[in-house]
Amino acid sequence: MHPIIKLVSQRLALGILLLFGASALIFGLTEALPGDAAQAVLGQSATPEALANLREEMGLDRPALTRYFEWLGGIVQGDLGQSLTNKLDIAESIGKRLGNTLFLACVAAIVSVPLAIFLGLLAVRYRNRWPDKLISAVTLTTVSIPEFLIGYVVIYYISVKLGWFSSLAMINDSMSFWQKLNAIALPAFVLTLVVLAQMMRMTRAAILNLMQSAYIETAELKGLSTFQVIARHAFPNAISPIVNVVMLNLAYLVVGVVVVEVVFVYPGMGQYLVDAVTKRDVPVVLACGVVFAAVYIGLNMVADIVSILANPRLRHPK
């Protein structure tokens, strides 16, 4: 078997194994919570007979291991079950919510990734001068502040004081693309600020590391300008670590968007998960947890595979 195909196959198998472990962990954590779904549905005043009947109806009286493998079998077949609170199909509900979350994450990524790389290159070009210090100070400040605080500050100044955008990022199927884009402007702006710093600093560090190489000095001795040296020699060789950190931040945009969605009341996966936790809707919590785990593991796996393909040294680890 070709070494690259073998390495990619190993990463895919490891990803599936990690997803299986994540599903077991999520199921175990929900089982460890005090009380159960029947108690949450009927309330504290429910009689023991009513609780026993509802637990039998929900299948909660069976062993946890049996319920886990039944749940896992349903996931493999694309069946995520029904919500306890509204009896709607969870897969259908998650499909709509995940689409909204991916739309928000894609808009934030389209803005943040090229901007982070540009700022990283600019910081290297003016290393230790005021543009480099200004970019580093601003990005480090934004990444040091919790996203919920940035969100509320943005709502206060941009939405309440200036009135430029709505503080609620509500979207629906009847809205046009531009109306949706206008609605998610503020949460996309907050997410961009949150992920910008890490990608910018990784770009800067990776290129600065390569700038100490002998072939970079040779390029400089040939009379190339600093910008040409960076664009032609340093940046192409720094693609591997940059892609890695970009993929990790894309994973954060999808998985870590929960807080931002709650702040802006955005109808995405994060808001859906928080609502389910509030109502103790365990099947929805399990399904959201598995979807988040699959997205995070999948994007990390893509980052790993891209790094292997971009860096020949990783294909022959010693």
Rounded CA separation 145/196 (Å): 13
- Cβ–Cβ under 8 Å, residues 157 and 189: no
pLDDT in tens, 214-232: 777 777 777 777 777 777 7
pLDDT tier for residue 313 given thresholds of 50, 70 and 90? low
Rounded CA separation 268/152 (Å): 19
| Residues above pLDDT 90, as percent of the chain | 0
Produce one character per residue of 29-50: b if its CB has 16 or more CB atoms within 10 Å, e if not: ebeeeeebbbbbbeeeeeeeee
Produce one character per residue of 266-286: b if its CB has 16 or more CB atoms within 10 Å, e if not: bbbbbbbbbbbeebbbbbbbb
pLDDT tier for residue 36 given thresholds of 50, 70 and 90? low
User: In this predicted structure, what is the pLDDT of residue 281?
Assistant: 78
pTM across the whole model: 0.74
User: Which two three-digit tokens encode residue 315?
Assistant: 């294909």
pLDDT in tens, 91-120: 888 888 888 888 888 888 888 888 888 888
Report for 3-7, 61-65, 149-153, 215-219: range of highest mean pLDDT: 149-153
| Residues above pLDDT 70, as percent of the chain | 92
Asked whether residue 315 carries a pLDDT value surpassing 70, the answer given is no
Rounded CA separation 50/44 (Å): 11
pLDDT tier for residue 192 given thresholds of 50, 70 and 90? confident
Q: What is the average per-residue pLDDT within 34-61? A: 72
pLDDT in tens, 272-291: 888 888 777 778 888 888 88
